[in-house]
Amino acid sequence: MPRYSTLDQLQLKVLTKAAALVTAPANQREVFDQFVMEVVAVADLTPHLRRVTFRADGFADFRPTGPDECFGLVMPPPGRPLTMPDEDRVNVRTAIRALPEADRPDLRWYTVRAHRPEAREIDVDFVLHGDAGPGTRWATRAEVGQSVGFRAGNSGYRPPSGGAVLLVADETALPALAAIVEAGAPADARIFAEVPSEEYRVAFDAPVTWLCRGDDAPGSHVLPAVAALPGPAPDYAWVCGESALATGVRRHLVKERGVDRRSVMFSGYWKLGSARV
């Protein structure tokens, strides 16, 4: 069990409080489990989405905080063994920076698409986007038997018990959206998914409005679709995907539809043109 310093705990509290001023409250965790996991299966769901199944004893007791649970994938630098960051630090980036440069692992955030504690497994669905960064590079070459690190995160979906719900995702947030729908999103939730092309579509057990953006900027198709929604504004919105998409939809809801900013959970899962470090 990690031991966090008083300073680390204070930092976490301040960050959580600051976030709660501008966004809907996330589901928090007190202990960020960390362990090494092994790849036990790799399968392509679509030409651009790869499911990797990981196994570790730590998944038997792991408790997700919500359906869109995210975690930090800790990847060894090319050609080096995996060095895990100090688990006693709350801030995993600080812990990674403290390691010698040659051993410093890469870290990227992904969603726990499914958790099977009895099998000690999780499934993670990776959007493959070439060799542009360590996350996609790793996923493109993932093989059974490889070891990488798991660092627990938290989850954002936390709607009120009643009211109209809006869910907006791009391709990187489809795993989270699918997990939310499976966990029981309201039957009348309005759901939008903006993806680069038809090839990114996955099956959903709920009516989803699909929008293909082609070469247009992320958010440029879903924002007008959300703006054109008739009727009263949603009581709660979950908006995740590329940064401009997430902030654009959130801005529209708050500034033009009068939705309380603390009723909009939004997260820039990636940023066009920049690494998510």
Ligand X SMILES: Cc1cc2nc3c(=O)[nH]c(=O)nc-3n(C[C@H](O)[C@H](O)[C@H](O)COP(=O)(O)OP(=O)(O)OC[C@H]3O[C@@H](n4cnc5c(N)ncnc54)[C@H](O)[C@@H]3O)c2cc1C
Q: What residues make contact with ligand X under the rule CB under 6 A?
A: 70, 108-111, 125-127, 129, 132-136, 172, 175, 267, 269-276
Report the nearest approach of ligand X to the CB of residue 5 (Å): 25
Buried b (16+ CB within 10 A) or exposed e, 76-96: beeeeeebbbebebbebeebb
Whichever of 52 and 189 has its CB closer to ligand X, that residue is 52
Residue 274 DSSP one-character state: B
C-beta of 14 vs 272, nearer to ligand X = 272
Instruction: Identify each DSSP E strand in the chain by its residue range.
Output: 34-46, 49-55, 70-75, 106-111, 114-116, 121-127, 147-152, 165-170, 190-195, 209-212, 236-242, 264-270
- The token pair that represents 270 in the structure block: 């990636």
Q: State in angstroms the smallest separation of the CB of 228 from ligand X.
A: 26
Tokens read off for 132: 């542009």
Task: Name the residue nearer to ligand X (CB basis): 129 or 251.
Answer: 129
Q: What is the smallest separation between the CB atom of 271 and ligand X, expressed in angstroms? A: 6
Tell me how far, at minimum, the Cβ of 50 lies from ligand X, in Å: 9
- What's the closest the beta carbon of residue 195 comes to ligand X, in angstroms? 10
Burial class, 223, CB count within 10 angstroms (exposed 0-12 / middle 13-18 / buried 19+): buried
Q: Which is nearer to ligand X, 10 or 217 (CB)?
A: 217
Nearer to ligand X, 135 or 234 (CB): 135
